[in-house]
Amino acid sequence: MARFSPVFLTLALAAGALAAGDYDSLFGAIKKSWPQYQSVAVVCDTNGSKAALASLTSSAGGMKLLVVDVKGPQDMGKAIAALTNRKPDVVILLSGDHIAGDGSSAAGFLIKRMAEIKIPTAAITEAGAKQGAVLAIGQGTGGKLMSNAKVAAVAGLAVPAGATSI
């Protein structure tokens, strides 16, 4: 059975105390595109994605983080319910997560459900943008800011300034 323990963590990281992570440019783009956003969520298998979660956490810079732990695709309905109840400002696709990482059917389900309730998704890969992430930037995009205009419209957002529309 899946273990669901959505926990808000206040991430008060000292500037420059941690090495640059894979998610630095993504958080920079989120803060620039949506400066009013204060909380992010991620749905993943926490045991299988420890390194990616550590990288994401080190890049969050003061934003609140909600982690929803899933053990298989069968847990996605409960994850959507947890996100719907907590209403984070944005959901980040955790690159490489074997359950809800970009490219997975679970990520597609998550993107669609979040857009319907006006919560955008973000990723660090081009695959994430092609799948429906409203905003994507990172090593997996060659450092290029990308956006899925169709999903942005469903979520009620404009394509971020300077983004290449997928």
We report the CATH number of the domain holding residue 115 as 3.40.50.2300
Does 2 map to a domain? no
Domain count for the chain, please give it.
Answer: 1
> Does 40 score more than 80 pLDDT?
yes
Q: Is 89 a member of any domain?
A: yes
Residue 139 lies in a domain: yes
Contact by Cβ (8 Å): 86, 41: yes
Q: Any idea which residue has 């400002």 for tokens?
A: 89
Question: Is pLDDT at 97 greater than 90 in this prediction?
Answer: yes
Domain of residue 30: give its range.
Answer: 7-165
Average pLDDT of span 15-27: 65
Q: Is residue 34 within 8 Å of 134, Cβ to Cβ?
A: no
Alpha helices in the chain (DSSP H): 24-33, 50-59, 76-86, 105-116, 126-131, 149-154
Global pTM?
A: 0.86
1 belongs to a structural domain: no
